[in-house]
Each structure stands twice: as C-alpha cells, then as structure tokens.
Chains A and B, each alone.
Chain A
C-alpha cells in the first residue's frame, strides 16, 4: 500500500506528454532486467493483461509498468527519468 501511494506521488510529477517516452523506457528496463524472476506475480499478470489489451499507455497500464520497473530497477528508472528531464519525479522516487 505504501509503495502504491508512493508510485502515485511519483506519477503526479510526470507531465502527461512525458508518459509515452517514459513508458518505452520502462518497458526496456523491465525486459532487460536480470531480476525478472523477482517480479511480483500479480504485477507480471497485470503487465501482460494491459499489453494484451493495448493498454500499457493508459494511466492504469503506465502505473503498473512504473510500479514493476521500480520494484526491480529503481535506480535505472531514476536515471531514465533524469534523461527525460523528469527531475522532480526522479527526486520523488529517490525519496521513497
């Protein structure tokens, strides 16, 4: 519940127009992660459901992707946010 609330706080710092580019980077991070086996099964299922329905770009899909990527590769997510000048979101992530 704490993580979910924190993720919502991070999302609030991400402008709508940045979610598309960030979504691609989050997907890359997840697929490249060596910690794939550690992903929460419910999050994995949610990613697959959203991808099947072409909903990864939706607010719910984006939140799932972000939560999953942060759970496995928090530092890499922060790096990518900084590359996209999403410094407030990255800072919020660091503070969680």
Chain B
C-alpha cells in the first residue's frame, strides 16, 4: 500500500533548511518567521553533534500552523528505520499531513566518528523507505530484507495518512532510485550543470516505476545566501562552499572545471582548522558551482532557471545569508514575489 501524493500543483514551492546548532528557541523562532514569510516547508538537518532533530521538529510543530516539516535529511544508520518510522508517526500525530520524511545515506564524516559503516546505501534506502511507508500506513510489517528483517511489527497507534518519503540523492543510481521509490527527490546541488544530468537519472527511475514527472517532487537542495550586499552574500556562502568542494566526488568537480588538487588543498586546510587558508582558496567559480548566492536579483534569476528545468520545490539551505532572520525577511520581500508564480 503505497501513498501516491498529489503533487499536481505547478507553482514552485519553497523550503528553508535550518541546522539546529543554536539554542532551540532560535531555531523555533526562525521556523515561525519562515512560516510567516511564506515558506511552504521547514527542514531540520540531522547530525548527532547538533540538537536532536526530532526534539527540534516537535517544538516547531508546537509553534507553527501551516508549514510542512521534516528531517532534511535523516539517515537509517544511526537510528534503525523502525525508530525512524515511530518518530515520523509521533510527529504526524501532532500535525497530520504536515510531516515529510527526508531520508539520505548520511554524512560520512560524522558516521566515521562513531564507526558506523555506510553499507549498501542503495539497498538500505530502498528497505528503509518500505519500512517507513508500511509502518506509517498502520500495516503490520513482516520483511525479509537483505539489510533489515522484521517480524510482524505494527505500532500501537495510527495516523490518518502514511508519511511521504523524500530521498536525498547526488549520484546517478541514488537519483534513479529516489525517483523510482520516493515521493520526492532531494537533489543536493545548486547549479544547472548538476541538474541536467540529474534529470536524466530521475527519468530513468520514473520509467522503471511507470511514473511520470509530476508524480514526484523534484527538490533543489541548495546552499543559499542572499543579501542586498553582493559581497556579504558571497562571503556568507564561502564556508559552506568550502565543505562541499572538499567532499565533492571527482566527476562533479570535473563537471565544473575545478581541479582535484584545489579541492584537496581546501580539504587539507579544513582538517588543520586553518580557516584563513580555506577562505583564500575558495574561488568565485566554486561559489557559483556549489551555491546560489548574491543579491535578490541574482537569486531570482538562478531560481527561475532551475524552475524552468523542472524543479518543483526549492530549498534555501544553509547559510541562507549573513544574518538568518534578515535574509529570510529579504527573501520573502524581494525574491519570493518574483519566483513563486
């Protein structure tokens, strides 16, 4: 029994992603601000070294009335999928229809810190998606998977509808899988150069499941920074771009004409904690490849380009801008009205 969401609206939707690294009340305040500013979704990132994602989401649900929320993204390695399904259902009980499960294979750096191997990511995501769907649908699940074995499990409470699953993807196989089995494909990219090949793999996945574009949300999970001052916007995006470049696979660096050696130098500087060196090595080309950053006008143009390519949901991801609340307000006043039709 699979939920087939109704993603028929053609209007571009907007999400904001927060990293719960500040006091809980600030993240909640920002989420309320986002809702009041016209955003449709609020995603909270999930890393064990920040505040717990489900605690943050619970508090946000207590203080918002409309936005959809979810972990953006969680992984099935730290928390078993049955715990993930339980968490999703508990949230959905508070706000039926407003909870989405953002799922991905996790951040290798933090998983390595606790010696959790990122085994068989494709199979793990496939089976986790099935578990979340079946359990949140209220079904009793028996599953003899290659990763997970479950014997007749059903939770002791119900929610009106199963929780949709959006899958974070970057590589060709995960993109295809996300389109095949997901309700949404979260593409971790900011440049049209990365979206062009992504759409090829998304279409492959859709064809495999006899689905069409429009059956899934195509989500641009971007590194975003907006400010009236171009330089301030770009400066704010620099640390995020540095981390993306440092962890970027060679083919994607090549796609953007960024030498592997340059990425290696940034990675080494990050490892040393030499932030001066890190920032001096981040080039304009890197910023343009891995972030959408600049004045409202620049951002409008770039968002509209992605919309034309087929993106249906745009995430303004970290850092959002030099000052989060100012940038959300600026986005609402000077970007949103020009990109949401």
Contacts and interface: CB of A to CB of B under 8 A. Distances in A.
Interface in B22-60: 22-26, 28-29, 32
Interface in A14-54: 27-28, 31-32, 36-37, 39, 44-45, 47-48, 51-52
Contact of A52 (B22, B23, B32, B324): B32
Contacts of B325: 27-28, 31
B38 to A, nearest CB: 15
A48 B25 contact: yes
A51 B23 contact: no
A88 B138 CA distance: 63
Contacts of B29: 31, 47-48, 51
Contacts of B63: 48, 51-52
Nearest to B323: A32
B22 A36 contact: yes
Contact of A44 (B23, B32, B323, B324): B23
Counting contact residues on chain A (CB < 8 A from B), the size range is 10 to 19
Contacts of B23: 36-37, 39, 44
**Residue among B26, B28, B323 with max Cβ neighbours from chain A (10 Å):** B26
A69 to B, nearest CB: 13
Contacts of A52: 32, 63
Give the interface SS of chain B, mostly helix, strand, loop or mixed. Answer: helix
A54 to B, nearest CB: 8
A31 B28 CA distance: 11
Contacts of A32: 323
A39 B25 contact: yes
Contacts of B324: 31
Contacts of A31: 26, 29, 323-325
Interface in B142-164: none
A48 B28 contact: yes
Contacts of B26: 31, 36
**Residue among B24, B32, B323 with max Cβ neighbours from chain A (10 Å):** B24
A27 B26 CA distance: 11
Contacts of A47: 25, 29
Contacts of A27: 325
A51 B323 contact: no
B36 to A, nearest CB: 8
B25 A36 contact: yes
11 contacts: A27-B325, A36-B22, A36-B23, A36-B26, A39-B23, A39-B25, A44-B24, A48-B28, A48-B32, A51-B29, A52-B32
Interface of A: 27-28, 31-32, 36-37, 39, 44-45, 47-48, 51-52
Interface of B: 22-26, 28-29, 32, 63, 323-325
